[in-house]
Amino acid sequence: MAFLSVKNLNKKFSKEGVKPLTALDSINLDIEKEEFISLVGPSGCGKTTLLRIIAGLEEPTSGEILLEGNKIQGPDPERGMVFQEYSLFPWLNIIDNIAFGPEMKGIGKEERRERAAEYIDIVNLEGFENSYPHELSGGMRQRVAIARALANAPKLLLMDEPFGALDAQTRNRMQHELLDIHEKTRKTVIFVTHSVDEAVFLSDRVVILGTRPGRIREIVEIDLPEGKKRERTDPEFIRLRKYILSQISDNPQEH
């Protein structure tokens, strides 16, 4: 049994008087525990819709998703979501932002602060515990958002274009940090991105969603050295990146 199993998933958006739009068509996908999976494809191919259905924020029209054999129904902190806009609480300092989920679960102050401190350490934000979100850079805020999702002890981390709003240099640094976080926590990650370069750099497998909207076109294994040893200049990296780009026929917005 796969850790996460997407079975025959279909999603149609219907509005009165308008022809229904098929956003996802017969999606089947098995994901193993600890895997890092990216979803790529042209704009409108259904990446965000698939992620939102896995998050439980959207209902499929038919089909189902099983997490460790249990059908997903509605949102749950066991599936932590990180968005492009950091959605931090501006009135809470960093440690309380991170401890928010555990607080909602009724975990006592000391324990949740301990847990938050552990994740502050993992995302390298020691010393910023008492700062407020507006006092941090974009990359740092995104690290808080990742720590906040992790503090709920999720089984799955769902990331929707999390580095899309960052400048190129910060984005590059965040990619290295995310690999590092993945190595430390071994969380299963599903990562939506427009950037094929980013997907190849981060992932164990890249799922290409089709030019025919909403279908899986191909799943590409990224057989590169683990962790920080990944090099963009590696000929295999360049070959995989070119190959995936050639499979995305619409213009990807960046690469």
- Interacting residues with ligand ATP (CB under 6 A): 13, 21, 23, 41, 43-49, 194
Q: Shortest distance, CB of residue 101 to ligand ATP, whole angstroms? A: 25
Nearer to ligand ATP, 41 or 154 (CB): 41
Q: Is 141 exposed, middle or buried (0-12, 13-18, 19+ CB in 10 A)?
A: buried
**AA identity, residue 243:** Y
Question: Taking the complex as a whole, how short is the minimal distance between the CB of residue 107 and ligand ATP, in angstroms?
Answer: 34
In the complex, least distance from residue 228 CB atom to ligand ATP, rounded to whole angstroms: 28
Distances (CA, A) of 65 to 2, 61, 87: 11, 12, 26
Identity of the residue, 49 or 97, whose beta carbon is nearer to ligand ATP in the bound complex: 49
> At residue 114, what is the residue type?
E
Q: Among residues 49 and 175, whose Cβ is nearest to ligand ATP? A: 49
- Sheet of 62-67, strand order: 18-31, 4-15, 62-67, 70-71
Cβ-based nearer residue to ligand ATP, 13 or 89: 13
Q: Which is nearer to ligand ATP, 125 or 248 (CB)?
A: 248
How big is the CA angle at 210 (ends 75 and 198), to the nearest 5 degrees?
Answer: 70
**Least distance (Å) between residue 216 CB and ligand ATP:** 13
- Phi then psi dihedrals of residue 70, to 5 deg: -105, 135
Question: CB of 213: closest distance to ligand ATP in angstroms?
Answer: 6
C-beta separation of 161 from 112 below 8 A:
no
Exposure b/e, 78-90, CB count within 10 A at least 16 = b: ebbbbbbebebee
